[in-house]
Structure 1
Amino acid sequence: MQFLIGAGKSPIKCFKKDVGMMGYGMSGNTVDDLSKELSVRSFWMEDGQGGRFVYSCAEICFITPAVRREVMSKIRNEIISDFDESCLMLSAQHTHSGPGGYSEYALYNFTIPGFRRDVFTGIVDGIFNSIQAAYKSRAAGSLELIEHSIDAATGIAWNRSIEAYNSNPENEPISDRESHLAIDNRMRMLRINRQNGPCDQINWFGVHATCIGKSNHSISFDNKGFAAAHFENMNGGIGVFAQGLAGDVSPYYHGPEDVKKRKGINGENEHVYAETNGIKQADEAMKALSIEPSFELKGPIETELVYCDFSNIQVSEEFSHGLPNAKTGGACHGVS
């Protein structure tokens, strides 16, 4: 089956001086200038039988419920009035060097400080404009899945919590000198072939977009953004560098003498390091793009959106110290 597929890219216009950045939760981590403009990349996919799926990846820290609600409203008002919300997936590549203030929850706004309507509107408009561009550019195309293993020696990612990694019973113990082996080294890619154009792609590889630290005052898309920009310069198509299993995965070496090895990577050097890390990811994506796909997706497109109450989840006995019928509880906030 051929799909109708459109791709779009739009800038996020949200540069506001002195706004707190989102990610590190540090009140001194504020915006002073713009190093790299943030963007959103989106794909609109249809199967010709009524099924559709819209995917966006924004160069911000994370998506908030408020952003999703507003984007949904704009899609229904300006593109398709009965658009089903299960067809929309909004994601972020997790840079910590973008502005905050786009959540309605106080916890995320303490260090910003407060809700910033101008930042919120800039993010919503950037996402919607990229989706609208994708909708308008639909053309016949195909979708293929690819899996590429990145050589651990490439030096892109390291596990920052070896003790936690080694506590997983299914893992072979790893020494602290081999933290680069304690990651998921797979880059999973959706190759998007559209008529009369270069290949687009979405890839998922887990590594934090935190090459640039908490002393920074310049808006930047960090390593994932550098990867996307470098890929697009090489390939011509749109490239999304989304997050994979990035929970304890750092773009910096962790292990013996890690503080010594990182010494000197500060200030502008952090931005240089982010670009170097991003170029490595882009090069791996180019390798993946040339691999024979595992299989071609045939459709139809079906979507489902599930809401889960995280305060009332059944916990199996293997994770509750043998306590039967254990459940999660309400949220709490601690200080130590």
Structure 2
Amino acid sequence: MCRQRSGHPYSYLEIALITLLVLMTAVTVALLVLHFVTGESSSSNDYGEPSPTQKPTTTAGSENYLLGVGRADCTGPVAEIPLMGYANPDQVGGGLLTRLYSRAFIVAEPNDSRRVVFVSIDIGMVSQRLRLEVLKELKNKYGELYRRDNVILSGTHTHSGPGGYFQYTLFWITSKGLIKPNLNAIVNGIVKSIDIAHQNMKRGRLFLNRGTVENSQINRKPLLISPESSIRT
């Protein structure tokens, strides 16, 4: 036989848990509403569609910066090399469509007390092995001028560039090991682009602008390209 509860239909523990659940639900709903309201407000104010007549804004004191830009070829082997990003050893390059480049941008204080270099490379992503190789070459050339705390390397995340420049086992499996010629080509291209930017440093200004890039990122949507017209690089 079941024992009947006396008094309240719920125990004190059940009442406490129900009350806590209701309070947590109310707080969650309030936070979500607040998040979306403030998010829409900041989005409309900060990331709205720019006016066609809008001019780039100049950062404060930017006319006092020393600026340098440089571009160098970092194209490695173009045939029978697994492409980075598809995780398919059979997805290999079959020729050259466009060359791959490294683009370096250096910004320094006029008294050379501080500087930073940002490099954008036409590769899937930057590996630790690649970064260490670049830093070693820069140290041999410039001493402590370009270090790990002021050198930023970034890949454009293309899936149409060769792989084989990682140190991790998982990437080695899909890229069929370390491909030294490709690693060397990327390292040399990055260092050369920094060399060019370093040699061309001049006093200049920094501008900030925003806009919309139309019809981009098609390399992540292979279904948009017919097999007959697709070209692998």
Normalising by the residue count of structure 2, what TM-score does the alignment of the two structures yield?
Answer: 0.66
> Aligned equivalents of 1:208 and 1:266: distance in 2?
12
> Aligned equivalents of 2:102 and 2:228: distance in 1?
25
Counterpart contact for 1:79–1:132, Cα < 8 Å:
no
Structure 1 position 89 matched with structure 2 position 156: no
> Aligned equivalents of 1:82 and 1:45: distance in 2?
13
| 2:227 aligned residue | 267
For residues 128-207 of structure 1, what are the structure 2 equivalents within 5 Å? 128-149=191-212, 156=215, 207=217
Counterpart contact for 2:84–2:160, Cα < 8 Å:
yes
> Aligned equivalents of 1:10 and 1:67: distance in 2?
16
- For the residue of structure 1 that corresponds to 2:211, the secondary structure is strand
CA 21–149 in structure 1, closer or farther in 2 if over 3 Å, else same:
closer
Deviation at 1:208, TM superposition (A): 6.6
Equivalent residue in structure 2 for 1:28, among 64, 75, 90: 90
Q: Which amino acid aligns with 1:44?
A: I
> Aligned equivalents of 1:209 and 1:47: distance in 2?
38
> Aligned equivalents of 1:101 and 1:78: distance in 2?
26
In the alignment, structure 2 segments of 5+ residues that lack a partner are 1-60
Moved more, 140-149 or 108-117: 140-149
Structure 1 position 44 matched with structure 2 position 106: yes
> Aligned equivalents of 2:228 and 2:107: distance in 1?
40
Deviation at 1:127, TM superposition (A): 0.6
Counterpart contact for 1:45–1:53, Cα < 8 Å:
yes
For residues 228-247 of structure 1, what are the structure 2 equivalents within 5 Å? none
Counterpart contact for 2:66–2:107, Cα < 8 Å:
yes
CA 25–145 in structure 1, closer or farther in 2 if over 3 Å, else same:
same
CA 54–25 in structure 1, closer or farther in 2 if over 3 Å, else same:
same
- For the residue of structure 1 that corresponds to 2:82, the secondary structure is coil
> Aligned equivalents of 2:191 and 2:146: distance in 1?
14
Counterpart contact for 1:60–1:93, Cα < 8 Å:
yes
CA 80–141 in structure 1, closer or farther in 2 if over 3 Å, else same:
farther
Equivalent residue in structure 2 for 1:98, among 161, 183, 188: 161
Counterpart contact for 1:15–1:34, Cα < 8 Å:
no
Pair member with larger Rg: 2
In the alignment, structure 1 segments of 5+ residues that lack a partner are 158-206, 214-258, 272-336
CA 141–209 in structure 1, closer or farther in 2 if over 3 Å, else same:
farther
Q: Which amino acid aligns with 1:269?
A: S
Structure 1 position 5 matched with structure 2 position 15: no
Residues 246-276 of structure 1: CA deviation (Å, up to 9, x unaligned)? xxxxxxxxxxxxx7xx4xx2236346xxxxx
Counterpart contact for 1:100–1:119, Cα < 8 Å:
yes
Size of the alignment, in residue pairs?
A: 168
Deviation at 1:108, TM superposition (A): 1.0
Normalising by the residue count of structure 1, what TM-score does the alignment of the two structures yield?
Answer: 0.47
Q: Which amino acid aligns with 1:99?
A: P
| 2:220 aligned residue | 210
RMSD (Å), alpha carbons = 2.0
> Aligned equivalents of 1:58 and 1:43: distance in 2?
12
> Aligned equivalents of 2:209 and 2:83: distance in 1?
35
Deviation at 1:85, TM superposition (A): 1.5
Counterpart contact for 2:78–2:96, Cα < 8 Å:
no
